[in-house]
Amino acid sequence: MSADEERRLARVALTWLAEPGTRVVYRLVERLGPVATLDLLLDGGSPDGWLHSTVAARLAGGDARAVAAEALERADRLGARLVTPDDEEWPAQVADLATLRLPDVTRRVDGETAPPLCFWVRGGWPLGEALDRSVAVVGARAATGYGQHVATELGYGLAERDWTVVSGGAFGIDAAAHRGALNAGGLTVAVLACGLDRPYPMGNAALFDRIADTGLLVSEWPPGAEPLRPRFLIRNRVIAAGTVGTVLVEASARSGATQTARRAVYTNRVAMVVPGPVTSAMSVGAHEFLRDNPKTRLVTGVAHVLEEVGRIGADLAPPARGPQRPADTLDDDARSLLEALPRRGARGVDALATRAGLDVRTAMRKLSLLEELSMVVRRDGGYALAAPVTPKRGSATVTAR
Amino acid sequence: MSADEERRLARVALTWLAEPGTRVVYRLVERLGPVATLDLLLDGGSPDGWLHSTVAARLAGGDARAVAAEALERADRLGARLVTPDDEEWPAQVADLATLRLPDVTRRVDGETAPPLCFWVRGGWPLGEALDRSVAVVGARAATGYGQHVATELGYGLAERDWTVVSGGAFGIDAAAHRGALNAGGLTVAVLACGLDRPYPMGNAALFDRIADTGLLVSEWPPGAEPLRPRFLIRNRVIAAGTVGTVLVEASARSGATQTARRAVYTNRVAMVVPGPVTSAMSVGAHEFLRDNPKTRLVTGVAHVLEEVGRIGADLAPPARGPQRPADTLDDDARSLLEALPRRGARGVDALATRAGLDVRTAMRKLSLLEELSMVVRRDGGYALAAPVTPKRGSATVTAR
């Protein structure tokens, strides 16, 4: 096992020993590196009583390195990959979580908001690039028709302007935001609180498939991990810190979605709230959030959101959606289609599907992805290679290296 | 004519010569008093070219003092009275308009926001007392069912807590707020932009009658004055400055109601806005106002409004709703009912109506007013005199003295 592989394995093992976000573990990793931190914890050397018992309890259930190795294999079979700070695609902005301190913390989980040690990712985009120009749209699961309409419009409008729409994959507002982005042919990222092999909720399975197809499914938890209640809260800090801003669409009083917006406020991201009828229970939390957080902006639509995030977006690098990088992550079907395209001129979808050995539905889906990656263009009723692009042969699928 | 009468007449004449709010006139009155100011203007001595032509144009249509005298007579017949800063019931807080300067003024009418020179008032309450603990609830005429529901609830809830509900008597939100207050048996004041003999809009005539019955109809314009378009804007400054705070319920983009809220902001009153669905055109102006005016508070119901105005209310004198003062302004019917009440014990409504020579409906209405004034109490299925009250004989009706 290479030193790199050992470090990756250690990060996975550490995330299994203690939940993501645990401050003391993050600080140890910062100081000692993941391998020495793992050794320390396995030797019973936790500097913290609580962590000591947590680790001991975990270890009673298995060997940390073996569990981690199995998780990596499982991810490989799943077509998912591990992303760590050593990888080029690591989203650097999540490091801001290191200084996040929520006020009035009463639950341990609200205090353990350290940056992630690693991500599991499914989908063709480099994670960091996908999150570079991203906005979170979150809200109530028991959303009203009004809220879902607004979230869909926001998802669509943001995606249309080349912003990645990030949410939690839940019913209601989250799903509506993802769907809006997908309908616009845009990029959407679902940050989950469980293993990528069992995206929760099951009722959104088809949606998760669509997201993985053109966007990303992301989680801090290894394959097999259950969507335990506190994990949603732990996950929320990633949605908040991974994006430029968070839009809260509907939230009942004391809703979990307001916790994401709260984490956005305290990591100095733009927190935005869509108001609603004061007669709607599903807007109570949204209005309270606006009243309680003076820096929060009231937004009524995509124009307002763009106004807010655009200000920050202007300071960012221009959307790094170049043709080279994504090619590294294309799957076999997409590459077959690229090879089936004529060097000059266009070819119809049916002909392309036949040449690539694919059914027409798959071919269309992949062509739409390639089109979004600016690798192909629609022309003369078919598709053609985009002018300056030389498809680059990368690894067929990106796995947990 | 007494000096006092001469001053009153001069104020009426000045309001006829130039629209209320005209700064140069207000400043002259402050310096020279109303009589000398009137003399100056009648002699063609306006210090301002624009005022000079305005006055000249007016004078072509009549004699200022004669017009004013006629207005006073007309008000007398109408059961309305003139209130000036010389009167005890003058609402002192409108003087804050002297320092109101709206930013980005392009129309003359937005710059002419000086305090009123006088008010015409119809109804039994002393104007100043009625406005002491008052909140304005204003909004769109083309209100939605949602907005009207919210405005009614606000009017009701504020009245129930002994706050006077002030609005402009218009269709939609204004009417809903007045009605809510009336339904709670509370005090409501309609500030009009025309003569009290022709309250506008006519469609609200029954509402205006109800308001005059237990609350107040107020205007800066003499009887006969038409509801000209700019007058609504001029009127709005009185709603804003006469109250502790203004709640904007629904407003389309560039609605007049937002102008009242704007005047509240710039006279350091509490400006409050009720949000609504972002999909509703009738909330666009409300949301824009919230976005553009950082000091404005989002409120979702009467509890939030009370929280805002209560803060100021706490600094005010306790609600001066004592039993003595209102008795001065009771009409004949109410006094007859008081006389019909037994010195000890209670008497039923029918018996009271018969003794007072009134029909039952009138008797009930007046008894409800007396009850609100703490002069009678409901007891044993009828009404009784409230314990410590000795009804005091004042002038039968309050007229333009």
Q: What is the mean pLDDT of residues B353-373?
A: 82
Q: Which residues lie below 8 Å from residue A214, measured CB to CB, with a gap of 6+?
A: A123, A124, A182, A185, A187, A188, A368, A369, A372
| CB atoms B279 and A149 under 8 Å | yes
- The pLDDT > 90 percentage for chain A reads 73
Residue type, A73: E
Task: Among B146, B278, B297, select the one facing A275 at the smallest CB separation.
Answer: B278
| CB atoms B304 and A284 under 8 Å | no
Q: What is the mean pLDDT of residues B12-16?
A: 97
The count of other CB atoms within 10 Å of the CB of residue A333 is: 16
Beta bridge mates, B217:
B122, B190
Q: What is the pLDDT of residues A82-123, one digit of tens each?
A: 999 999 999 999 999 999 999 988 888 899 999 999 999 999
Fold of B108-313: Rossmann fold (3.40.50)
User: Above 90 in pLDDT, residue A11?
Assistant: yes
What does DSSP assign to residue B21?
Answer: T
3-state per-residue secondary structure call for A47-91:
CCHHHHHHHHHHHCCCCHHHHHHHHHHHHHHHCCEEECCCCCCCC
B283 Cα distance to chain centroid: 26
Q: For all residues of chain B together, what is the average pLDDT?
A: 90
Minimum mean pLDDT range among A301-310, A388-397, B150-159, B331-340: A388-397
User: Above 50 in pLDDT, residue B228?
Assistant: yes
| CB atoms B275 and A279 under 8 Å | no
> Phi/psi at A86 (nearest 5 deg)?
-75, -15
| CB atoms A275 and B287 under 8 Å | yes
For chain A, say whether B154 makes contact (Cβ under 8 Å): no
Strand ranges (E), B125-196: 134-138, 164-167, 188-192
Beta bridge mates, B189:
B166, B216
Give me the pLDDT at residue B100, please. Answer: 95
Instruction: Name the band, by pLDDT with cuts 50, 70 and 90, for residue B258.
Output: very high
Instruction: Specify whether the CB–CB gap between A222 and A75 falls below 8 A.
Output: yes
Q: What is the mean pLDDT of residues A131-137?
A: 97
B294: its two tokens? 């950082």
Burial B216-247 (b: 16+ CB within 10 A, else e): bbbbbbbbebebeeebbbbbbbbbbbbbbbbb
Q: What is the pLDDT of residues B287-304, one digit of tens each?
A: 999 999 999 999 999 999
Task: Among B146, B287, B301, select the one facing A300 at the smallest CB separation.
Answer: B287
Sort out which chain A residues have CB atoms less than 8 A from B154's CB and list them.
none
In whole angstroms, what is the distance from residue B115 CA to residue B101 CA? 12
- Looking at chain B, the number of H-run helices and the number of E-run strands are 18, 11
In whole angstroms, what is the distance from residue B247 CA to residue B32 CA? 37
Question: Among A152, A252, A297, A298, which would you mutate to test the B interface (most chain B Cβ atoms within 10 Å of its Cβ)?
Answer: A298
Give me the pLDDT at residue B325, please. Answer: 45
- The pLDDT > 70 percentage for chain B reads 92
B139: its two tokens? 């909004």
DSSP class per residue in A134-189: EEEEE--SS--HHHHHHHHHHHHHHHHTTPEEEE---TTHHHHHHHHHHHTT--EE
Instruction: Determine the distance in angstroms separating the CA of A333 from the nearest CA of chain B, rounded to an integer.
Output: 42
Question: Hunting for tokens 């999540």 — which residue is that?
Answer: A94
Instruction: Specify whether the CB–CB gap between B396 and B332 falls below 8 A.
Output: yes
Give me the pLDDT at residue B327, please. Answer: 54
- In total, the C-beta contacts within 8 angstroms joining chain A to chain B are 51
Instruction: Specify whether the CB–CB gap between B300 and B333 falls below 8 A.
Output: no
Q: What is the mean pLDDT of residues B142-163?
A: 96
User: Above 80 in pLDDT, residue B110?
Assistant: yes
Minimum mean pLDDT range among A56-70, A276-290, B49-63, B302-316: B302-316
Helix (H) or strand (E) holding A38: helix A34-42
Instruction: Determine the distance in angstroms separating the CA of A276 from the nearest CA of chain B, rounded to an integer.
Output: 4
CA distances to B124, B357, B366, B370, B375 from B394, rounded to whole Å, are 12, 20, 17, 15, 15
Q: What is the mean pLDDT of residues A218-246?
A: 97
Q: What is the mean pLDDT of residues B137-145?
A: 97
Instruction: Specify whether the CB–CB gap between A282 and A250 falls below 8 A.
Output: yes
Name the residue among A219, A222, A249 with its Cα closest to residue A235.
A219
For chain A, say whether B146 makes contact (Cβ under 8 Å): yes
> Phi/psi at B139 (nearest 5 deg)?
175, -165
Question: Hunting for tokens 């060997």 — which residue is that?
Answer: A63
Q: What is the pLDDT of residues A17-42, one digit of tens each?
A: 999 999 999 999 999 999 999 999 99
For chain A, say whether B301 makes contact (Cβ under 8 Å): yes
Give me the pLDDT at residue A394, please. Answer: 35
Residue type, B42: L
User: Above 90 in pLDDT, residue A380?
Assistant: no
What does DSSP assign to residue B45?
Answer: -
3 state DSSP class of B101: coil
Sort out which chain A residues have CB atoms less than 8 A from B290's CB and list them.
275, 298
DSSP class per residue in A253-311: TT-HHHHHHHHHHHTTPEEEE----TT-GGGHHHHHHHHH-TTPEE--SHHHHHHHHHH
Q: Which of A312-321, B135-144, B364-373 has the highest mean pLDDT?
A: B135-144
Give me the pLDDT at residue B397, please. Answer: 39
3 state DSSP class of A379: strand
Instruction: Specify whether the CB–CB gap between B159 and B188 falls below 8 A.
Output: yes
Sort out which chain A residues have CB atoms less than 8 A from B248's CB and list them.
none
Instruction: Specify whether the CB–CB gap between B286 and A287 falls below 8 A.
Output: no
> Where exactly are the structural domains of chain B?
3-73, 108-313, 324-385
ipTM of the complex: 0.74
Fold of A324-385: Arc Repressor Mutant, subunit A (1.10.10)
Q: Which residues lie below 8 Å from residue A334, measured CB to CB, with a gap of 6+?
A: A124, A366, A369, A370
The dihedral region occupied by B62, where left means phi > 0, alpha psi between -120 and 50, and beta the remainder, is left
| CB atoms A278 and B301 under 8 Å | yes
For chain A, say whether B348 makes contact (Cβ under 8 Å): no
The count of other CB atoms within 10 Å of the CB of residue A77 is: 11
For chain A, say whether B99 makes contact (Cβ under 8 Å): no
User: Above 70 in pLDDT, residue B371?
Assistant: yes
| CB atoms B275 and A276 under 8 Å | yes
User: Above 70 in pLDDT, residue B326?
Assistant: no
The size of chain A, in residues, is: 401
Give me the pLDDT at residue A371, please. Answer: 81
User: Above 90 in pLDDT, residue A298?
Assistant: yes
Instruction: Specify whether the CB–CB gap between B219 and B119 falls below 8 A.
Output: yes
Half-sphere exposure (CA, 13 Å, Cβ side) for B341?
28
Instruction: Name the band, by pLDDT with cuts 50, 70 and 90, for residue A314.
Output: low
Instruction: Specify whether the CB–CB gap between A72 and A223 falls below 8 A.
Output: no
User: Above 60 in pLDDT, residue B396?
Assistant: no
